[in-house]
A and B are shown apart, each in its own frame.
Chain A
């Protein structure tokens, strides 16, 4: 069989293959683009998460926020020792509302809770709190 005899079909076939190649090229680009978009989205998401984490756990205002724990309860009931981003505080004779207020405040602080001890003495509560940031 001579190829020349079927040159019309061959030319059409070549054009078809060219189209097929172009189609595969386009699909390849779409798929790599989707992959790239997913990777970029993930990277952007990770970046934003790091920023958010840093904003919470490396907040420069944390010291001031921790300081508020001292003024939350009448000074007579508080023994306060804060040194170099570390706090040891003990509270004596807290009423239930005072205890609730203190614990709620502690939970909202971006600090590493090293120790939280609550002991009921009669109808009052003693609290020991150690943290760092």
Chain B
């Protein structure tokens, strides 16, 4: 029983409340319509589904009603209530709706109403034929005895959750759906993220294999040192070979190699050309390669130089 919160009985003639604590509220029959029916249904959700049709013509038109259903000694108890009307009433009596935890109905605790409960000066809440009803105090006999003491022990097991069902954009169902969807996506994203972080370890495999295959290159310092040494050598030597290949392409019909010299820093070559036309063509080719060209005096020979 959720009776850790104070249970207040709300009735039409009650005095305004001033408490700012979270409370549970039990409503008298003034706020609900009750019907008992023996229906051949097994589950409460099935009974709840047919509840609106049972109250056809009994409820005020144009209002929105919610229903509570439970089984009681072979009968189904149907209870229709207008939440908007209830909350309006509670507000007029000084209840801050955010401080109302749950709503209960007097009928839910009918077994405990074994004596009349005085409500104000003129009304009494009594149990008649196992149904909570409001009667004028005058109908009670003079020797009825003291009034029933109403306290937290009257708190039924199930109630109507009021928090969040007023003034909110989302009701509990919508909020639950959103939370479920967001949580599901959150879980998917977390799992994916975790899998990605786990995959990062797999990338080291190839590197590890290389390290094992070449133990002498395990140290990065060694690798950098070797790379610096051989990359420079490779670049210079490739350039020397490229120069030789380029110069060899300049030997065509009418061109003869007279001399060639290449050292670690530069090269120079002298070509003999058969005529001025060949010399011009050779000159163009050499210019294209941005080599330094000079004409040897007294003939069509060309001297080409360059640095490496």
Contact = CB atoms under 8 A, between A and B. Distances in A.
Interface of A: 2, 4-9, 11-12, 15-16, 18-19, 21-23, 25-30, 32-33, 36-37, 40, 43-44, 46-51, 53-54, 56-58, 103, 107, 110-120, 125
Nearest to B264: A114
A29 B186 contact: no
Contact of B199 (A11, A18, A33, A51): A33
Given A8-B164, A12-B179, A113-B262, A22 B189 contact: yes
B111 interface: no
A102 to B, nearest CB: 12
Contact of A118 (B171, B175, B260): B260
B167 A5 contact: yes
Contacts of B244: 103, 107, 116
A44 B200 contact: no
A29 B226 contact: no
Given A19-B186, A50-B223, A107-B241, A120 B259 contact: yes
22 contacts: A2-B96, A4-B98, A6-B167, A18-B183, A22-B185, A22-B188, A26-B189, A26-B190, A29-B192, A33-B196, A37-B203, A40-B204, A48-B210, A54-B226, A56-B230, A56-B234, A57-B233, A111-B237, A112-B233, A112-B264, A116-B261, A120-B258
A30 B178 CA distance: 26
A118 B264 contact: no
B4 interface: no
A22 B193 contact: yes
Given A5-B97, A50-B230, A117-B262, 7 more contacts: A11-B179, A19-B183, A22-B187, A25-B193, A26-B190, A36-B200, A50-B223
A5 B165 CA distance: 8
Chain B at the A interface: SS class = helix
A23 B192 CA distance: 9
A47 B196 contact: no
B256 interface: yes
A120 B272 CA distance: 11
A54 B262 contact: no
Given A18-B183, A26-B190, A44-B207, A50 B258 contact: no
B131 interface: no
The 8 A-B residue pairs whose C-beta atoms are closest, nearest first, are A22-B189, A15-B182, A26-B193, A8-B175, A53-B230, A4-B98, A29-B196, A22-B186
B172 A8 contact: yes
Contact of A116 (B193, B248, B262): B262
B217 interface: yes
Interface in B181-217: 182-183, 185-190, 192-194, 196-197, 199-200, 203-204, 206-207, 210, 214, 217
B163 interface: yes
B308 to A, nearest CB: 10
Contacts of A21: 186
Contacts of B187: 22
B262 A115 contact: yes
B240 interface: yes
B189 A51 contact: no
B168 A9 contact: yes
B54 interface: no
Contacts of A113: 237, 240, 262, 264
Contact of A9 (B169, B185, B206, B261): B169
A7 B163 contact: yes
Nearest to A51: B214
Interface string B222-266: 010011001101101100110011001000000011111111100
Contacts of B19: none
